[in-house]
Chain A
Amino acid sequence: MAGADVTSREGARRIVLALEAAGVSLVPTVPDTWIGWLMEPMRASRRLRVIDVAREEEAIAIACGATLMGERAAVVIQNAGLLNSGAVIASLVQLYRVPVFLLVSYRGDVRDPVYYHAPKGRATEPTLTAWSLRFARAEPTRIAAQVAQAYAFMDETREPFVLLFSAEDLA
């Protein structure tokens, strides 16, 4: 996060535009600090409905329900919540092949200076690999393309996709 001007939030606005362009209408979410920054423009969107959720597994199930009814959803959670969600990913998303897009704040990776997030950061990518989840790290200049590619991937494969973002990506 060093050097990132997170107060401008241009990256957050790009993410919101990318979700809107992908046709997303529902955003179930559990907050963290970075997600709080992302939610400011998200809640201002007229095309996205933010649903505040008590726990991350619920957010994923809500997105599945919306998807089954023909809507597009995007789950926005921290990687701690993603790590909580192995059972619902395996037993709902993967078992029934209901594709869900997960936009995940990547706490504890090399760009995050907060020491107590480090164990989650170390566990995140190996866990995603172990769960056979396709994922990518957000690239601020390509975020719209990444989101569009994620939904195209999900449409073709019925598999979920995880996009990991850092505070720098919101700047």
Chain B
Amino acid sequence: MSVPRQAWLSALLAALDARDVLVAGLGGNARYLPHMAPRVPHWALCDSMGAAIPLALGMALARPTRGVVALEGDGSLLMNLGCLATVGAARAANLTVLIFENGAYESSGGQALPAVTVDFVAVALAAGFRRAERLSSADELGAALAQGRSTGGPTLFALPTRFDPAETIPPYSERPDEIRANFARALRGT
């Protein structure tokens, strides 16, 4: 069973701590987030496919007292699957990775991913993540994040996400200089 992306995002935003930082990989998450007014510093990539997790890792290592949450698509993760080993080796206790699994390259027209089901939860555990599991309902996300926070990470949650080719996703609404300035301002304020 898959869940609409916006339901995952709404549950995530409701569960964030005031000192968390969000990094969204390119695509639907990055396009929706600015319209959902996150209360925390957020960096939504409009390109750099596969870079969200290492970008978030750099933030997490630089500021161990802040929780950092990386939002990445399954296609983007496949482009850079080795980054899970990097995260596992770095033992970033304050990093949470959310993988939105919809089996499609949604941003480029909905082309299918390579025709194999990759178990990202198993890969993450094998790569040294402290905790990894697949959730089935947006209602589970808040408690899962809280538990991950209390036990320490790195943590990965795989989120089965509905792909609707007819869904109208808003376009990228922030430009790079704006993203950088907004991020720095929000960081100073939290």
Interface residue ranges, A against B (CB under 8 Å): 25-26, 28, 49, 51-55, 57-59, 61-71, 73, 87-88, 91-92, 95-98
Please state if A96 and B51 are interface contacts (CB–CB under 8 Å): no
Judge whether B177 and A26 touch: CB under 8 Å: no
Q: Contacts of A97 on B, CB cut-off 8 Å?
A: 176-177, 180
Given A64-B55, A91-B48, 8 more A-B residue pairs with CB atoms under 8 Å apart are: A49-B61, A51-B90, A53-B86, A54-B85, A73-B58, A91-B49, A92-B55, A95-B48
B52-77 CB mask vs A (1 if < 8 Å, else 0) is 00111111111100000000000000
Known contacts A54-B82, A91-B48, A95-B47; A61 and B58 CB within 8 A of each other: yes
- What band does the interface of chain B fall in when counting residues whose beta carbon is under 8 Å from A? 20 to 34
A70 to B183 Cα, complex, angstroms: 12
Given known contacts A58-B82, A69-B63, A88-B51, A98 and B57 CB-to-CB distance under 8 angstroms: no
Given the known A-B contacts A52-B89, A68-B43, A97-B180, are A57 and B62 also in contact in the complex, defined by CB atoms under 8 Å? Answer: no
- Min CB distance A157 to B, Å, is 14
Bound together, the chains give a CA A136 to CA B85 distance in angstroms of 32
Chain B positions within 8 Å of A, measured between CB atoms, are 23, 43, 45-51, 54-63, 80, 82-83, 85-86, 89-90, 176-177, 179-180, 183-184, 187
Given contacts A54-B82, A58-B86, contact A66 B59 (CB under 8 A): yes
A28 CA to B82 CA in the complex, in Å? 14
Q: How far is the CA of A63 from the CA of B61 in the complex (A)?
A: 10
> What residues of A have a CB within 8 angstroms of the CB of B82 in the complex?
54-55, 58
Q: Is B176 in contact with A65, judged by CB distance below 8 angstroms?
A: no
Which of A25, A61, A95 meets B55, CB within 8 Å?
A61
Find the B residue at minimum CB distance from A93. B48
Q: B61 near A26 (CB under 8 angstroms)?
A: yes
Most central of B56, B61, B89 by chain A CB within 10 Å: B61
